[in-house]
Structure 1
Amino acid sequence: MPSDLAFERIRLDVQDQVAILTLNNPCKRNAFDLLMREEIGLAMACVRQDLGIRALILTGADGHFCSGGDLRNMASVDLDNAGWHQRMQSLHHGLRDLLTLDRPVIAAVDGAAAGAGFSLALMADFVLATPRARFCMSFMKVGLVPDCAAFYTLPRIVGQQRARELMLSARDVGAAEALQLGLVLELHEPDGLMARARAMAGSLAQASPTAVSLIKRTLASPAQDLATLLEMEASGQALAAGTPYHHEAVQRFLNKEPALYQWPANP
């Protein structure tokens, strides 16, 4: 990880093979602007290049996750159709590394996750939240369509009909409903949220990086037919079975030694 990186809108900390990317614009409830987008892109490029990082936590500073796009900043930009299209393509380029990261991503959500903030949370493999977390696909309130890959992520989690309802209604979803809908994996009190995220990330950091990467890649595949998925399964298993990690894990099992990887107990 480069030591000379300085950020204004985010923080990036690495400890014990786990990177923590914190959205850090608390005076605007961590609103998403062009600078934050660029800095997330830079941070993710560093994470991708550093193979010593085995898991990533995405969170927000000071009791907020992300309140969505910075509307004041957006209103100050005068773009035509081509300009907006280019701006969105640049946004996609910066965030693609987060969505396609070959390592586990855990979002720890406290407070608002609205608009782009909701979309960012959906890019994670697991979403942990506090009871005061709120989720909203708020784009319709300002006459926009969902962005930051929500058209890809949201229907895959809640299904097409519920995704339409959440996008078109632009209604608030509380933490309990988010858990029921499968948007959130677990709820934790604010003082235990990051501890749980770190425990999960630390455990996942001990997993086979090959197996993790193959699972994420296969689950993200647009292929839905059985034949294609079975072929991906066969190819993936062949790769995983040849890794030193697999051989050591099997030997540990046969020797009745502690496993290399264990999921942390839910407190």
Structure 2
Amino acid sequence: MSDTVINIKKEGITYLKLNRPEKFNSFNKEMAFELQKQLDDCIRNEHTRAIVLTGEGKAFCAGQDLAEVTHPELNPGFKSILEDHYNPIITRIRNIEIPVIAAVNGVAAGAGANIALACDVVVASETASFIQAFSKIGLIPDSGGTYFLPRLVGFQRASALALLGDKVSAIEAERMGMIYTYFSADSFENEVDQLAQKLASMPTKALALTKKALNKSFSNSLEEQLAVESEYQIASAQTQDYNEGVTAFMEKRTPKFKGK
């Protein structure tokens, strides 16, 4: 197992920490494959009810490690970097039937920013920032940046951010709808823990179906999406958690969901 991603399990939550702090957690081949492996392990672990993706040290993730792509012997080539490294991470995050929180503790640049934006709930420290850094080195956004960003902040703002590569503070990101919310640096870790605990204690079967429905909404017509909602609502009504939720409501008590 590589130490480029730290795995910490606590009370139904798996914390995945990108762990190249000396490189601001920028991705190389090893870390990209290790994150894919760790996400796959979460799928297989029935006790994981929420995932927190964050960074070790001062940064969340500075994107691609340019030292790798400029090294004649280490450079995998852009086709491999995109199709083997980043794209599988994005598809795993969107398809995994577990809520994924991006806890952006510091700068999130390039692919690092867009991996964060692909997560289900994105929160940031007030000291964090987001940068679509690609244009500064003559590239276009990858890791779903041209897909998620316009849907989050609107076409005009997404276009400007992608072309200009402006730095966006956590406060600005929350205001424009790029992220869910931000927390003070002092309380950030505790707030993230509380958020993860809340998600892990919820009816995760229904959360997974909600996530699948939201994924389909990107390409469906209204009529198609209504059909999806009908299918998934019926499916969620067959779960033990639905019965527990209704029973707890009628009995005026806190429900105890098991993700079944």
* TM over 0.5, shorter chain: yes
User: CA offset at residue 78 of structure 1?
Assistant: 7.1
Please give the alpha-carbon distance, in whole angstroms, between the structure 1 residues aligned to 2:157 and 2:233. 34
Does residue 186 of structure 1 match 2:181? Answer: yes
- SS of structure 1 residue aligned to 2:187: helix
Counting only pairs closer than 5 Å after superposition, residues 72-111 of structure 1 correspond to structure 2 as: 72-77=67-72, 83-91=77-85, 92-111=87-106
Which amino acid in structure 2 is aligned with residue 101 of structure 1? I
User: Residue 198 of structure 2 corresponds to which residue in structure 1?
Assistant: 203
Please give the alpha-carbon distance, in whole angstroms, between the structure 2 residues aligned to 1:79 and 1:194. 35
Query: Which of 210, 217, 220 pairs up with 1:215?
Result: 210
Please give the alpha-carbon distance, in whole angstroms, between the structure 1 residues aligned to 2:98 and 2:251. 29
User: CA offset at residue 94 of structure 1?
Assistant: 4.2
Structure 2 runs not aligned, ≥5 long: none
Q: CA deviation digits over 1:8-39, x for unaligned, max 9?
A: 21101111110000011111111111111011
Please give the alpha-carbon distance, in whole angstroms, between the structure 1 residues aligned to 2:246 and 2:25. 45
Please give the alpha-carbon distance, in whole angstroms, between the structure 2 residues aligned to 1:59 and 1:94. 14
Q: What TM-score results when the alignment is normalised by the length of structure 2?
A: 0.92
Check whether the contact 2:244–2:255 (CA below 8 A) recurs between aligned residues: no
Structure 1 runs not aligned, ≥5 long: 1-5, 262-267
Check whether the contact 2:58–2:106 (CA below 8 A) recurs between aligned residues: yes
User: Residue 40 of structure 1 corresponds to which residue in structure 2?
Assistant: 35
User: Residue 3 of structure 1 corresponds to which residue in structure 2?
Assistant: none
Q: CA deviation digits over 1:91-134, x for unaligned, max 9?
A: 22244212322111111112211111101111211111122111
Which amino acid in structure 1 is aligned with residue 93 of structure 2? L
Which amino acid in structure 1 is aligned with residue 79 of structure 2? H
Please give the alpha-carbon distance, in whole angstroms, between the structure 1 residues aligned to 2:208 and 2:111. 26
Check whether the contact 1:59–1:107 (CA below 8 A) recurs between aligned residues: yes
Please give the alpha-carbon distance, in whole angstroms, between the structure 2 residues aligned to 1:78 and 1:96. 28
- SS of structure 1 residue aligned to 2:123: strand
User: What is the alpha-carbon root mean square deviation over aligned residues?
Assistant: 1.9
Q: CA deviation digits over 1:176-201, x for unaligned, max 9?
A: 11111112222212231121111111
Please give the alpha-carbon distance, in whole angstroms, between the structure 2 residues aligned to 1:84 and 1:70. 12
Check whether the contact 2:90–2:118 (CA below 8 A) recurs between aligned residues: no
How many residue pairs align between the two structures? 255
Check whether the contact 2:2–2:30 (CA below 8 A) recurs between aligned residues: no
Which amino acid in structure 2 is aligned with residue 215 of structure 1? T
Please give the alpha-carbon distance, in whole angstroms, between the structure 2 residues aligned to 1:8 and 1:143. 31
Closer/same/farther in 2, CA of residues 211 and 12 from structure 1, 3 Å limit:
same
Please give the alpha-carbon distance, in whole angstroms, between the structure 1 residues aligned to 2:73 and 2:236. 51
Does residue 253 of structure 1 match 2:249? Answer: yes
Q: What percent of counterpart residues are identical?
A: 31
Check whether the contact 2:19–2:56 (CA below 8 A) recurs between aligned residues: yes
- SS of structure 2 residue aligned to 1:12: strand
User: Residue 239 of structure 2 corresponds to which residue in structure 1?
Assistant: 243
- SS of structure 2 residue aligned to 1:183: coil
User: Residue 114 of structure 1 corresponds to which residue in structure 2?
Assistant: 109
Check whether the contact 2:174–2:182 (CA below 8 A) recurs between aligned residues: yes
Q: CA deviation digits over 1:65-84, x for unaligned, max 9?
A: 1112111111114799x953
